[in-house]
Amino acid sequence: MLRFTKLAIFTLCLLSIACKTSMEVTDQPNIDYKPSDTSIAEILDQIPDYSESLWAVEGKGRAIVSEPGNSERFNIDFASDTALSLLKIKNRLGIEGGAMLVDPDSILMYFKVDKIAQKVSINDGRLTSLNELASINLIDLLHFNLSVNSVLEAYESDDHYLLRLTSDGGASIGKKSMLIEEVRQPFSAGLAYSKIIYENYGELDGYTLPRKITIFSNDGASKVVFQIRSLNLNPLSPDLMLNIPSNIIIDRL
């Protein structure tokens, strides 16, 4: 049985260390960064941009949740368009215990085993661990979008560009691949996550996307390693329906 707390932990981490300055975006403090000779626009032009062509995804993945004194593994069926994201959370035996439908304003949760449905606002601070997933769409998680308006300054080392974001966070981009390797956000940005690490990029249908995403919680105490096992891009009709039996009352918290 998936308990409420387990789903909350997954939600927290499926989007989640705050940095004080953009120069802390990397865990390698000995790297010598200097102001980049390449303009922000030129750097961004080299980073793959699928914001106009990637409008839906669906697939399967595995989430390894780590928190102090505890570790859990879940199988995830997911689907998303640019407005909604649906997560169906299963145990190791493939039994679905919980599902969550998120939009820009709210989170609708259904605990199948316990026959409980709850809906919360993403601004409800009492349930921060559940609200955080709604703060970033699954497509935005897979393809973190950078624009000229979101970047203040550019630095570089021999191997990386380091972009200071308008949120005072930062993004690290490998010079050889021109792919985003890490994003950090300060606590002051008010976001659910604080660090995201992107790894194991692969090409699928002309898109280069990460197959492994590690998301750290706000305090850095918890993290989720999200490994994508299968992925379908731009399906014609992604399943974004959360089927709650009519006899179950949705508690609005």
Domain span holding position 76: 4-242
- 252 within domain boundaries: no
- 158 within domain boundaries: yes
Kindly report which listed range (45-49, 129-133, 193-197, 207-211) carries the lowest average pLDDT score.
129-133
User: Phi, psi at residue 152, to the nearest 5°?
Assistant: -95, -45
- 201 within domain boundaries: yes
* Burial classification of residue 12, based on how many CB atoms lie within 10 Å of its CB (0-12 exposed, 13-18 middle, 19 or more buried): buried
- 250 within domain boundaries: no
CATH number of the domain encompassing residue 92: 2.50.20.10
- 223 within domain boundaries: yes
Mean pLDDT of 5-30: 40
- Of residues 74, 27, 88, 17, the one with CA closest to residue 225: 74
pLDDT over 80 at 143, yes or no: yes
Gap between the Cα atoms of 50 and 112, Å rounded? 35
pLDDT over 60 at 240, yes or no: yes
Q: What is the number of domains present in the chain?
A: 1
* Burial classification of residue 61, based on how many CB atoms lie within 10 Å of its CB (0-12 exposed, 13-18 middle, 19 or more buried): buried
What is the model's pLDDT at position 175? Answer: 96
Predicted confidence (pLDDT) per residue in 65-108, tens digit: 777 777 778 888 999 999 999 988 887 656 677 888 888 777 78
pLDDT band of 8, cuts 50, 70, 90: very low
Which residues, 6 or more positions from 129, have their beta carbon under 8 angstroms from its beta carbon?
Answer: 8, 9, 11, 12
| Integer angstrom CA distances of residue 125 from 34, 130, 190, 191, 253 | 39, 9, 11, 12, 11
> Which percentage of the chain shows pLDDT scores above 90?
42
- List the structure tokens of 69: 């004194």
- 249 within domain boundaries: no
Instruction: State how far Cα 140 lies from the chain centre.
Output: 7
Mean pLDDT of 42-59: 95
Q: What is the pTM of this model?
A: 0.81
